Amino acid sequence: MSRNRRDFLNACAGTLALGAGACLAPGVWAQTPGRAASSNYRRLLILVELKGANDGLNTFIPYADEAYHALRPTIGIKRDQVLQLSERFGLHPSLEPLMPLWSQGELAAVTGVGYPNPNLSHFRSIEIWDTASNSSDYLADGWLARAFAAVAPPRSFVADGIAVGGGDLGPLANGRRALSIQSTDAFLRQARLADANDANGRAKNEALQHILRLESEVQSAALNLDPKVTLASAFPNHAFGQQAKTAMQVIAASPGVAAVRISLGSFDTHQGQAGTQQALLRQLGEGIDAIKRACVELGRWGDTAIVTYCEFGRRARENQSAGTDHGTANTHFVIGGAVKGGLYGEHPSLTDLTGDGNLRFATDYRSIYHTILSQWWGFSAAQSAAVLGGRYATLPLFG
Amino acid sequence: MLHRRAPLSFPATVGWLLVCLIALALAATIASAQTPAPAQKVQASPMPAVGMGFEEARHLLSRTSFGARPEDIETFARLSRVDAVDRLLAETRTRAQYPAPPWAAIYERPFRPGMTPEQRKEANRRELVERGLELRTWWVAEMLSTPTPLTEKMTLFWHNHFVSSQQKVRTAQLMYAQNALLRQYALGNFGALLRAVSKDPAMLIYLDGAQNRKGAPNENFAREVMELFTLGEGHYTEADIKEVARAFTGWSIDPDRGEFRFRRALHDDGEKVIFGQRGRFNGDDVITLLLRQPATAEFVVGKLWREFISAQPDPAGVRQLAAVWRSSNYEIKPLLRAMLLSDAFWSPTNRASLVKSPVELVIGSLRQFGFSVEDPAPFAIALRQLGQDLFAPPNVKGWPGGESWLNTSTLLARKGFLNRLFRADEMQSAMSAGNSAPTGNADTTAQPATTVIDRAMLGDGRARRQAQLALRGGTGKLPPFGVSNQLRGQYFFSADQWFAQLPRDMDDARIASALFAGPPLQVSPPLPHTLAGLRSAALDPMYELK
């Protein structure tokens, strides 16, 4: 490495430590984010993707509805096994760890969530959810990436958003300060190998620019993670528990981050649904419980919101393989110390199905996004509408 | 006679010398490639009389093989583009040459009704952990040793197109059989491949075809065969999916033999309407209909374009190649030949524009530098850590590839891997621990292969168990790999030997040109002829590109 580049690197490291982005690859800060005095990125969003599409009817169960048991003679959850939330609805027995949250009024279930003209392809539909697009529109950037471009989180944060698990960036895709982390230890140990610089400006090709941008992000983040901070809280040993652990370690060791995405799956239960869903929902419940305990340890439970999402719900009627095919409307959870627990939205009728045998949605998924932007982070109605490409109803989820 | 000849031969000699000098000057410009603009102009004009030259040969081999060795590049540099492409295509094979794990030859039903939970758990462990590791290790061994890397590249391409994952299929032997099927047709006929895959037992399990019955269709395969295997999204309706699912009812497997079985009683032979056509279609009829749709050729050609040419397919170019393909009845070799000889493939703007996949990075590095690998198992685990767990793509759409191979997490994992691979500083302890060190050369790396695994990234229990198996040197059922050293479970590399065996006329600019698809950003030639020099080269961002 030439002397010039080494000097440049050192200069970069210095300015990055001060929170300035002057040395980053050209174009990184070309888009000047708007300022919003009201934004509150002290509040943390933890998104949980239920990969492969979780079956909502067996998660948030309309157990009192005879039609439910008629549609699900084999895989339906028996009345006496349901964890009752109300006279009509209850949770899958594997979600036992969520029951204390429910009784403390910290768990909200938003039901009948979907969008018009639903697409039943996994890949297209999760793209719709990740980019907050209409069924017929194709957008490139994740909805959180657009939100952070419109109202920028503080520069002192380790990143705007972090995807844990090393997979796709989902709602953070194409974000300027989006980080993907698999384990904090490995990240910090390897970060010293990322040696971003392009003093001669030779990086004209897009793939190379992509690499240089990642290396800049890594350097910046590594400077902002304190390797000495550890959590006392324990996490379950399964894959989702370990993702939750990594997420909470980053949150504990960094000066801040606005959003973290974790995931578990695959919920694509075309056959033999019972065992698969049971195991995954158990992981989900245990993981969320562990996140709460870690948040309490950090004094952050009051400003943390955990939100589940996935590409679609599953078909109302079970198939012949004791499973369920791709469907439409679904139920999702919003959980946190500042969440007003309860039931939101309107549960779809199980007798008035669409021609395809699917549930009719009543709440647009972008209502949840809008509520996060406006009620959680303090975006103005206009700012939220610009990010989401339209105005959506506010859900009174936060107290 | 002598007197008469001399005046004639003198100008001829001068002329020949001039040609040589010009060629040398051009070659030097190409090889150094420090100033892209003039170099690109030179690259654009082929020189068939003297072969395509080093830069073009490097480009061709970086896209069609795993990290070409400098001597291979020199060999191909002497060929014209047409001769080089024809040679690559002529050398492909339909069978793997590395011996398969012993259990791969015969199907034995691993999961039987009536098994106790303990028996089931043990069968699961054997299939997914032990045999799963052997299966991955076997394919890595094949990729490392094959004389025709293009065959493995195309097998991997189809693995990522006709996706099945052992996570769901579970039976290792069926995954092996599917891999053999993909290789058999890898450069054969796409239509035949599609028909064979539709009846492949692993696929019938993975996309629930085996569960698809008359009166209770399972739509999983019907949807994906159109969305991901042939037409692409937007070329069919939800109603088509339901009808196609009916047509495939009864395509099942014999659980005792692990073979395709048509169950007539479960087949819905009623009338269906598919793409507006009415008939009593069965699964084979549907495949015929799918192959008749122009969208099929364009969809698959677009995917091959992103694999071989550039991240952004040119729509007109795709249509043109798709027409070529359909006119050759979906034969894969003529299509690849047309792609590899297209202007777009050779365009300077498309060089160094693709991100190496983890397989290309790992297998390419090991092949390019001629590492001796006794046990490839840890490299199979390293591939998982880099985001390409063979036989277990993330979902039915496969690995998205391209720039998405790289995020902050996988980029760091790659750098960590390359750093460990070329690590000399820990060599002393590794050598003193082992009893049979190779030469006492300071610029040698000889380590347990498991040191390439990042222990901090071994998350779930299955990964940990696989790593433990790898630590023990695999399950001991695969034939030993590598012949040039006796270091059990180790890998070995000598930078001195590597530099010493390079062709004599290879100067530093040409060595850099062999290692990088474009000008490196962080290392500046001359590269130190040491292990540390190679390590710094491998950590350069340009090393990630092909």
Phi, psi at residue A188, to the nearest 5°? Answer: -70, -35
Tell me how far apart the alpha carbons of residues B346 and A372 are, in angstroms, rounded to a whole number. 49
Q: Check if the beta carbon of residue A252 is closer than 8 Å to that of residue A231.
A: yes
Interface check B40 vs A, CB under 8 A: no
Q: Among A1, A211, A221, whose Cβ lies nearest the Cβ of B541? A: A211
| Number of Cβ pairs < 8 A linking chain A and chain B | 165
CA nearest neighbour of B30 among B49, B57, B5: B57
Q: Among B219, B461, B545, whose Cβ lies nearest the Cβ of A207? A: B545
Contact call for A320 and B218, based on CB within 8 A: yes
Helices (H), B293-331: 294-308, 315-327
Q: Tell me the per-residue pLDDT of A233-288, one tens digit each, with 9 for 90 and over.
A: 999 999 899 999 999 999 999 889 999 999 998 899 999 999 999 999 999 999 99
Q: Tell me the per-residue pLDDT of B322-337, one tens digit each, with 9 for 90 and over.
A: 999 999 999 999 999 9
- Exposure pattern of A107-121 as b/e (b: 16+ CB <10 Å)? bbbbbbbbbeebbbb
Angle at A327 between CA A323 and CA A328, to 5 degrees: 150
* Other C-beta atoms lying within 10 Å of the C-beta of residue B78: 14
DSSP H or E stretch at residue B491: strand B490-494
Reported residue count of chain A is 399
pTM exceeds cut of 0.80: no
DSSP B494: E
Tell me how far apart the alpha carbons of residues B451 and B40 are, in angstroms, rounded to a whole number. 41
**Neighboring chain B residues of A175 at a CB cutoff of 8 Å:** none
Contact call for A120 and B407, based on CB within 8 A: no
> Which residue has better confidence, A157 or B476?
A157
Question: Which residue is listed with tokens 């008939």?
Answer: B279
Interface check B398 vs A, CB under 8 A: no
Interface check B211 vs A, CB under 8 A: yes
Q: Tell me the per-residue pLDDT of B352-405, one tens digit each, with 9 for 90 and over.
A: 999 999 999 999 999 999 988 888 888 999 999 899 999 999 889 999 999 999
* Residue to substitute from B521, B536, B539, B546, interface A, most A β-carbons within 10 A: B521
Contact call for B408 and A210, based on CB within 8 A: no
Interface check B454 vs A, CB under 8 A: yes
**Neighboring chain B residues of A198 at a CB cutoff of 8 Å:** 521
**Neighboring chain B residues of A185 at a CB cutoff of 8 Å:** 456
Name the residue of chain B whose CA is nearest to A136's CA.
B234
For residue A16, pLDDT beyond 60: no
Q: Check if the beta carbon of residue B513 is closer than 8 Å to that of residue B395.
A: no
**Neighboring chain A residues of B415 at a CB cutoff of 8 Å:** 190, 193-194
| Chain-centroid distance, C-alpha B337 | 18
Phi-psi region of A320 (alpha: psi -120 to 50; beta: other; left: phi over 0): alpha
Contact call for A122 and B456, based on CB within 8 A: no
Chain A nearest C-alpha distance from B545 (Å):
8
Please say whether the dihedral angle defined by the alpha carbons of residues B338, B342, B344 and B348, taken in this order, is positive or negative. Answer: positive
Q: Which fold has domain A42-388?
A: Alkaline Phosphatase, subunit A (3.40.720)
Per-residue pLDDT of chain B (546 residues; tens, 9 = 90+): 334 333 333 334 444 444 444 444 444 433 333 333 333 333 444 444 579 999 999 999 999 999 899 999 999 999 999 999 999 999 999 999 999 999 999 999 999 989 998 999 999 999 999 999 999 999 999 999 999 999 999 999 999 999 999 999 999 999 999 999 999 999 999 999 999 999 999 999 999 999 999 998 999 999 999 999 999 999 999 999 999 999 999 999 999 999 999 999 999 999 999 999 999 999 999 999 999 999 999 999 999 999 999 999 999 999 999 999 999 999 999 999 999 999 999 999 999 999 999 999 999 999 999 988 888 888 999 999 899 999 999 889 999 999 999 988 889 889 889 988 987 544 444 444 444 444 445 677 777 778 888 877 776 677 778 888 877 766 666 666 654 444 456 788 888 889 999 988 888 889 999 999 998 887 877 888 988 889 889 999 999 999
* Residue to substitute from A71, A268, A315, A320, interface B, most B β-carbons within 10 A: A320
Mean pLDDT in chain A? 87
Tell me how far apart the alpha carbons of residues B331 and B333 are, in angstroms, rounded to a whole number. 6
Q: Look at residue B27 in the predicted model and tell me its pLDDT.
A: 41
Q: Among B400, B408, B545, whose Cβ lies nearest the Cβ of A208? A: B545
Interface check B389 vs A, CB under 8 A: no
Q: Among A195, A196, A211, whose Cβ lies nearest the Cβ of B406? A: A211
* Other C-beta atoms lying within 10 Å of the C-beta of residue A144: 28
Which three-class secondary structure state does DSSP give residue A110?
strand
Q: Among A123, A186, A238, whose Cβ lies nearest the Cβ of B457? A: A186
Q: Among B220, B415, B544, whose Cβ lies nearest the Cβ of A190? A: B415
Greatest Cα-to-Cα distance within chain A, rounded to the nearest angstrom: 76
- Exposure pattern of B490-503 as b/e (b: 16+ CB <10 Å)? bbbbbbeebbeebe
Contact call for B355 and A207, based on CB within 8 A: yes
Name the residue of chain A whose CA is nearest to B543's CA.
A208
Q: Tell me the per-residue pLDDT of B27-60, one tens digit each, with 9 for 90 and over.
A: 443 333 333 333 333 344 444 457 999 999 999 9
Give one DSSP letter per residue of A223-282, joined into a string: HH--TT----S---SSHHHHHHHHHHHHHHHSS-EEEEEEEE-----SS-HHHHHHHHHH
**B377-385 helix and B132-145 helix, angle to the nearest 10 degrees:** 100
**Neighboring chain B residues of A205 at a CB cutoff of 8 Å:** 352-353, 518, 545
